[in-house]
């Protein structure tokens, strides 16, 4: 059975009023329900840079955020600010 690769968009850092978490990001997957999003918890996430040197930063989906199937992912090291609004692969 093949691994299904889904794409998500990096929405923002996980943040509060005065602080932000540099390794935790909110991911939005279009067209899925909360029940389908719960099945993605524990899956691997990969972000690739767009420059000449293709950097890959890996992370893991830890839990859901809110009631609208937004995912909370922790990355091994923080993504750059240019990653906001770009796509990541969920494996």
For 44-82, the DSSP string reads EEEEE--SSS--EEEEEEEEEETTTTEEEEEESSPPPGG
Global pTM reads: 0.89
d(CA 21, CA 52): 28
Question: Residue 63: what pLDDT?
Answer: 96
- Which SS3 state, helix, strand or coil, does residue 90 take? strand
Question: Residue 51: what pLDDT?
Answer: 86
Pairing of strands 44-48, 6-15: unpaired
d(CA 83, CA 13): 10
Residue extents of the structural domains in the chain: 6-90
- Does the domain spanning 6-90 belong to CATH 2.40.10.190? yes
Q: Give residue-wise pLDDT tens across range 32-81.
A: 999 999 999 999 999 999 889 999 999 999 999 999 999 999 999 899 99
> Bridge-partner residues for 13, per DSSP?
25
Instruction: Give the tokens for residue 17.
Output: 């009023």
């Amino acid at each position: 059975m093949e691994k299904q690769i889904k794409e998500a968009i990096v929405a923002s850092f996980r943040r509060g009023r005065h602080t932000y978490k540099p390794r935790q990001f909110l991911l939005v997957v279009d067209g899925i329900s909360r029940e389908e999003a719960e099945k993605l918890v524990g899956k691997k996430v990969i972000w690739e840079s767009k420059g000449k040197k293709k950097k890959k930063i890996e992370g893991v989906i830890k839990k859901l955020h809110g009631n609208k199937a937004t995912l909370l992912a922790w990355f091994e090291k923080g993504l750059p600010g240019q990653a906001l609004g770009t796509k990541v692969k969920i494996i």
